Structure formats: C-alpha cells, structure tokens
Structure 1
Amino acid sequence: MSGVGTRTQPGARWVAAFSLATAAVFIGWYGPLQILLAKQADLVDPASKEHVLALVAGVGAACSMVANPLWGALSDRSRRRIPWVVGGAVAGAGGLLVLASATSTGAMIGGWAVVQVALNAPFAALSAVIPDQVPAERRGTVGGWFGLAQTIGIMAGTGLALTGGTVVGGYTACAVAVVLGAIPFALVATDDVPERRSTRSPVTPDFRWAWVTRFLINLGNGLTLLYLLYYLKDEVGVADPESGVFLLTAIYAVALLTTVLTGGVLSDRVGKRRVFVCAAGVVMAGAAMLLAVWPTWPGAVTAAVVLGIGFGAYTSVDFALITEVLPAAADRGKDLGVINVANALPQVLAPVVAAPIVAGGGYPALYAVAAAVGLAGAVLVFRIKTVH
C-alpha cells in the first residue's frame, strides 16, 4: 500500500541531515512548551498562570491540528518537499521572535499560533519523506532516528530556553537553531518524490484505528506533561522547578536512547509492530501512575526513566506502523497530516480535561486519568488487522 518497497535506504549523510532538521523543528516547539511559555504566563498574569498557559497551548495546538494536514496536502502536490522544510523553518523562527516580545495573553496566543502553523510545514514534509524514500522493511530503523531527533530537539530546546537567560534570550536562541537546523537537509536531500496520480485516498478501518491509538496515547502523554513545571513547584516542592524540568528531560532523553533505535530495529527484524506499540503504551501508562502515587523528586526521576523507555520504543515503531496503513502513495503528506492531528488534538483537549481534574482531585487524579487513557490506546492497537 505504501508503494516504496523497491527503494534503497538513504545513506548516513541523508539520515543525519534529516535528523538535524527534525530536531530543529522540535527545538522551536519544545523550548517554548517546556519552559518559555510557562515563564511568560507567570510574568503576564501570575495569579492565573495555569489558565493562561492552558489557553495559549490549546489555541496553538488547534492551529497545528489544521495546519499539518494542509501543509502535507500542499507538499503532496509539489514536485519537492524541501521548500516546505526551509520556508516553514524561517517562518517559524520569525514567529518565535514575535512571541519573544509578547506582553499580554492575546499577544502570546497570536505569536504561538504563528509558530505552530509555520513549523508544521517542515514537520509535515519531513514525515512524508520517510515513506517517500525508505523501504517498508527499514522504516522501523529510520523511524527510530526520527524519534531520537525529536527527543534531542526537546532536550536542546529546553536547554536553549534556560541558557538564553531571559524569556527573550531563550526565544532568540531557539529561533536561530530552527533556521540553522534546516540548512543541511536542504543541501543533502535528493528529494526524490514518487509520482502522484491519485487525488483521493480511501480511508480504511486500520487507518482509523491507527489514528485512535495514537490519539489516546498522546492524550495520556499530554495530560502527563502539561503541568509538569507546576507539579514540581506546587506538588513536589522542588526549589528550582525550571532546572528540575530540564534535568527530568535530560534523564528522559537518556532513557529513551536505550529503546528508540533498538525498538525500531527489532521491529524490522521480527516483522511485528503491534506488540511493540502495546508494550510501549503500557510502560508509558506506568510512568503516569508513578507520578500519581509517588509525588516526590525520586518518584519524578523514576517516572522520567520509565517514560523515556516506553516512549522511545513507541515513537519508532508506531511511525513505522502508520506508514504501512497509509491508503495511497499519492496522498502521503495529507494522510500523515491527518494522523498527526492525533498528536495535536490532545494538546487542545489536555488543558480542557486537565484543569477541572486538578481543581477537583489534584495532581494524583490527573496522572491516574492520564495512565488510564494511555493504557486504552495501547490495547486498541490490536484492532489493526493488516499489520502484524
């Protein structure tokens, strides 16, 4: 169904440049999401910082949800995907610089919306490049690099947000990294995109179940991460919660390294995807439960390790599974964009769901719900029938 079985796996330079471009996109997203937006919300309205952050993150995610399939469809109908990578990176960097000067909730919403819309152009194009150029039997491995790059981007974005010194400095550092990271891919990639004849893809039940599985697992993850800074500050009592978030991100990244590549490689070798996705989802749900029942710094560190192990395997194998249920090669960018709505929609819903749960039952209730939602997604992966 994916139509690339005869292609040759790209070389090391291509993988390295592709990974750097992917990491740059995630720097642009997660420097703000992990640190800068929360700090900025605290400066704009200290008394209602949780609601400001939830509103900004929710509107931005709604923009992302619309932008990703749109950019994917446009790149499907272009001869090359590289212009979408470079143009989106430049526009996203501009949005970060606009966001740096925001001094009100409305300005934060506008700036973050620009960033989300712009950076979805390179992300949609980079997602489609894998089924364009990588044989199906090697996509778990390249999907591992894709997931590793995302994690490096999250960690680097968090680090740049902190080392920038101020909110403005953090946004500026992230903006520079976004642009620089796109350049090597533009120089190295051949961008050999298969001919597109179809303009309409039939949606299969397996495609729908793949979407549902990703949505639920990402919703559980979104509920877990949204208020992490405030969880450390208000529930755990960490003296320096911003540095705590960075340290947890680094621990998570190291743990992820143990599974993000090996999970994809093993999945390729044994020819199975679903069991890896399910196991990873169960592990991630376990991390959320640790935060619910063990609200201490050691508990948070342990949860970061568990989450990294689970999310590493999930990221690489789930992406490979998704590429095998795409309806038609002609619409890969658009269809992957629809799948990526399952990443963005939880960011919209997480603030809506999380705020009343925290108000009514505190952070333990929030993380128990997150675990239950993620576990449901892990189990439902077995409703997919055409992928082993």
Structure 2
Amino acid sequence: MFLINVFGYAAIGGVLSVLLPTQVRLVAADAAPSVLALVTGVSALASLAVPPVVGLLSDRTRSRWGRRAPWILFGGLATAASLILLGAVGSVAGLLVGWFLVQGTVNVGLNVVLATIPDRIPPHRHGLASTVQGLGLPLGSVIGVQLGALFVDSLPLAYGVLATAFALASAVSAWLAREARHSAPGERRTRSAAADVRQMFASLRFRDYRWVFVSRAVLYLGYNTVNGFTLYVLEDFIDPPRGVAPAEGVATALTISLIGVTAGTAVAGPLVDRFRRHRGFVLTSSLLLTGALFVPLLRPTWSGFLACTALSGLALGLYLGVDLALTTLVLPEAGDTGRDLGVFHIALTAPQVIAPFVASLAVTTLGGYPALFLLGGAIALIGSLAILRVRPQPVSAHHSLGESP
C-alpha cells in the first residue's frame, strides 16, 4: 500500500505541477492558463467516476490472486501506458485525452488498494494503515515534483521514468496483496450487475457513513479553496520577502505544508490506534484548519502566511492519519468494501473540482482575498460540526459496523 501510494502520487504530482503545465505552455502559448483549466477540469470527471465502478468490480472479481490484486496490477500497467502516451502528444486534444486516461487509470490501483485495509488488516491497526496510506501523498508529491523538474527538458524521458516507477510499484503491491480465491467472510450472495449499478451509492443511506463522507468532503473543500489560489495570494494580497518571486514563495509554502502533512500523518495513526478516539482526531483537524485559515486575516504578512501554511499542512496530516481508520468503522457491508471505499474517494476528488469555482467566487464577488480565507475557514468549521454527527463506534474484529438508516 505504501509503494503504490508513493509512486502513484509521484506521478500525479510530477505531471500536474511541472510536466503538464510545461506541455500546455508549449502548445497553447499565452492561452496556457485557460487550456490547462480545461484539461484538468475535464479529466476530473474520470477521477470522480472510476473509483466506485472499479471498487464494485473488484468486489465481484474472482481470480487465483483474489479480488484486489488483479486490479492493482492492471491499473499500474494501464497508468504506465497512459503516461507514456501523454508524454508523446503535442496538441491540446492529445493532452486532453492523455491526462483523462491517466486520471482514470491511476485511480484504479490507488482506490482498490484501500480495500485491503478492512480486507486484510486487523481493526486495531487501521490507524497505522491510514497513516501509511496518508504518507504517500506528501512523500510522493515531493518525489514527483523533483523528478519532473529534473527531466523537464526531456518530457518523454520524464514520463517514462514516472511510468516505469508506478508500474513496478503496482506489480510489487499486487504480489503482496494477493489472496486466496475463496469468498471474503461475510460476503453476501452475488447480485446481478444491474442491481449493483442501482445500489452504487446505497452506502450513503447509512447515517454514520454519510456523515463521515460529508465531513471529509467539506474539510477538503475548505483546504483546497485556499490552497489552489496560493500563487494568486502571493501576487495580489501578501507580499513575499524582497527578492523572492511569487512562484518561489509558492515552492517555499508547499515545502512547509508538506512537512506539516508528513508530521501530522505520522503521529495521528498510531495515536488513534492507542486511544481509539477517531472523532476527536477529525474534530481537532477541522478546528485546527479553521484557525489556520483565519491567521492571514489577522496577520496578512509573509510570516502570517507561512504560519497558515504550516498549520494547514499539520491539520491535513492529522486527518490523513485517521480518516480511513474511521471509515472502516462505519462501512455498511463487508461484501461491498471496494464499492463503498470508491464512493468515499469521491469526497476527496469532488472538492478538488469544486474548490476553484468557490475560490473564484470569493475573490471576485464576496470581498477579495480576505473573503477567500474567511470562506475557507468557515467551510472547514462545517466539517468539524459534521463529524460530531457520527456516533462513536467501538473498535472490534467486526468490520460491518454501519447501521440501517
């Protein structure tokens, strides 16, 4: 799980931060910002649609390696092929198709591997598993950005390196995640494909699962609403130190944020395994993020912004270290683990699509950049209120702890 997450997010981070913007600039020149928004916006549809569908299919898969491993391997190989294709295209249409395919295929393995947590890991270790999974985001992002910057003058080589690394990581992960052919404990009788499609989002009818989904979605929305406009904040609202360009300021802020994410993730999982206060950690994360986003309102300076960045990263890390552990406590049905975690993944990807529109509305209509931080903090506060609606669940060997609506 650690390998596929690190190199999966390395591919996403390297392409999205360095390689794809470089390609867009080469083919679109001055129209690059609008073209990049089009390419990333359309591809977001793949990241929304693929996880629940692939999760459902993995629940129904029977093979000599079990349910999850074939999809992890297939997702890695398909992602590698998509990355190589993306590195070879030289038109807007090619970039649109290529990044759409990458977003669709990379979310196969990254989503299916989550189901190995309730499938294979004892419940009292789910906090540690959530930490291992969460660490893939900051570590992978750093690796991807560094590789992208190193090979930016040779785009096909850069894509080839990322493709090879992710394919190998997926192959190793698939080998380690293989399981027996027999059905999972507690699995229900096989439904028809039509019934599965009709019940794709049935898990949202369960009260605790629904509130955990809502809290995740609004917390990520609050974080991404501000984080996605970092460059514009440093250009138009907060002045970096003399001699530091806004783009350099973004790099500094990103580094500080990733340190906070890594620290928060590393400590949250083991602690939640020990104290078993899942809601408390999510509540702390939401309130810390709210407070962090209010800092630039009180101190609109470079030091205030860095404090906001550090605290926001720490808040996100605390959440990443516990969110999957909490989710496994409220999964409605053991036989639909892949499907339900795929639906839960939407609470991560959907805010990334919505956040730019919310941020733009705040800056252009609601009062400028102070409104941006105020709105982001208010959204994060709603996340803390949502998690209070989740009833505490004991950690036991039983995975299906969700209740009827």
Q: Residue by residue, what CA displacement relative to the aligned partner does 1:52-81 show, whole Å, maximum 9, x if unpaired?
A: 333322222221111010111111111331
Show the counterpart of 2:176: 188
- Give the SS at the match of 1:324: helix
Q: TM-score, structure 2 length as denominator?
A: 0.83
| Farther-moved stretch of structure 1 (321-330 vs 218-227) | 218-227
Give me the whole-angstrom Cα distance separating, in 1, the residues matched to 2:132 and 2:33: 34
Alignment of 1:114-129 (within 5 A): 114-129=101-116
Give me the whole-angstrom Cα distance separating, in 2, the residues matched to 1:232 and 1:51: 20
Change (3 A) 1:60 1:77: same
Show the counterpart of 1:311: 316
Segments of 5+ residues of structure 1 without an aligned counterpart are 1-17
Q: Residue by residue, what CA displacement relative to the aligned partner does 1:182-206 show, whole Å, maximum 9, x if unpaired?
A: 2332333343572532456653111
Alignment of 1:165-314 (within 5 A): 165-166=152-153, 168=155, 169-191=157-179, 194-195=184-185, 196-198=187-189, 199=191, 203-233=205-235, 235-236=237-238, 239-291=244-296, 294=299, 296-314=301-319
1:294 CA displacement:
4.9
Question: Which has more radius of gyration?
Answer: 2
Is the Cα–Cα contact under 8 Å of residues 35 and 242 in structure 1 kept in the other structure? no
Change (3 A) 1:179 1:246: farther
Amino acid at match of 1:319: L
Show the counterpart of 2:45: 62
Is the Cα–Cα contact under 8 Å of residues 95 and 111 in structure 1 kept in the other structure? yes
Identity across matched positions, percent = 33
Q: 2:54 matched to 1:71?
A: yes
1:236 CA displacement:
4.7
Of the three residues 369, 376, 381, the one matched with 1:375 is: 381
Show the counterpart of 1:146: 133
Is the Cα–Cα contact under 8 Å of residues 220 and 373 in structure 1 kept in the other structure? yes
1:339 CA displacement:
0.7
Q: CA RMSD in A?
A: 2.6
1:23 CA displacement:
1.0
Change (3 A) 1:237 1:85: farther
Q: 2:339 matched to 1:334?
A: yes
Show the counterpart of 1:12: none
Give me the whole-angstrom Cα distance separating, in 2, the residues matched to 1:102 and 1:364: 41
Give me the whole-angstrom Cα distance separating, in 2, the residues matched to 1:242 and 1:36: 16
1:20 CA displacement:
1.1
Q: Residue by residue, what CA displacement relative to the aligned partner does 1:121-140 show, whole Å, maximum 9, x if unpaired?
A: 10121111111111222101
Give me the whole-angstrom Cα distance separating, in 2, the residues matched to 1:350 and 1:206: 25
Give me the whole-angstrom Cα distance separating, in 2, the residues matched to 1:131 and 1:352: 35
| Farther-moved stretch of structure 1 (26-35 vs 316-325) | 26-35
Q: TM-score, structure 1 length as denominator?
A: 0.86
Segments of 5+ residues of structure 2 without an aligned counterpart are 192-198, 395-405
Q: 2:133 matched to 1:131?
A: no
Amino acid at match of 1:219: L
Amino acid at match of 1:106: A
Give me the whole-angstrom Cα distance separating, in 2, the residues matched to 1:49 and 1:367: 27
Show the counterpart of 1:7: none
1:49 CA displacement:
4.1
Give me the whole-angstrom Cα distance separating, in 2, the residues matched to 1:339 and 1:227: 25
Give me the whole-angstrom Cα distance separating, in 2, the residues matched to 1:94 and 1:65: 21
Alignment of 1:10-29 (within 5 A): 18-29=1-12
1:333 CA displacement:
0.5
Amino acid at match of 2:141: I
Give the count of matched residue pairs: 371
Is the Cα–Cα contact under 8 Å of residues 223 and 312 in structure 2 kept in the other structure? no
Change (3 A) 1:297 1:40: farther
1:172 CA displacement:
3.8
Q: Residue by residue, what CA displacement relative to the aligned partner does 1:327-354 show, whole Å, maximum 9, x if unpaired?
A: 1110000000111111111122123323
| Farther-moved stretch of structure 1 (258-267 vs 211-220) | 258-267
- Give the SS at the match of 1:265: helix
Give me the whole-angstrom Cα distance separating, in 2, the residues matched to 1:243 and 1:354: 22
Is the Cα–Cα contact under 8 Å of residues 69 and 178 in structure 2 kept in the other structure? no
1:48 CA displacement:
4.6
1:220 CA displacement:
1.4
Q: Residue by residue, what CA displacement relative to the aligned partner does 1:291-336 show, whole Å, maximum 9, x if unpaired?
A: 5665554344323321221111101211111111111110000000
Q: 2:341 matched to 1:354?
A: no
Give me the whole-angstrom Cα distance separating, in 2, the residues matched to 1:301 and 1:89: 36
Change (3 A) 1:101 1:242: farther
Is the Cα–Cα contact under 8 Å of residues 21 and 36 in structure 2 kept in the other structure? yes
Show the counterpart of 2:403: none
Change (3 A) 1:43 1:153: same
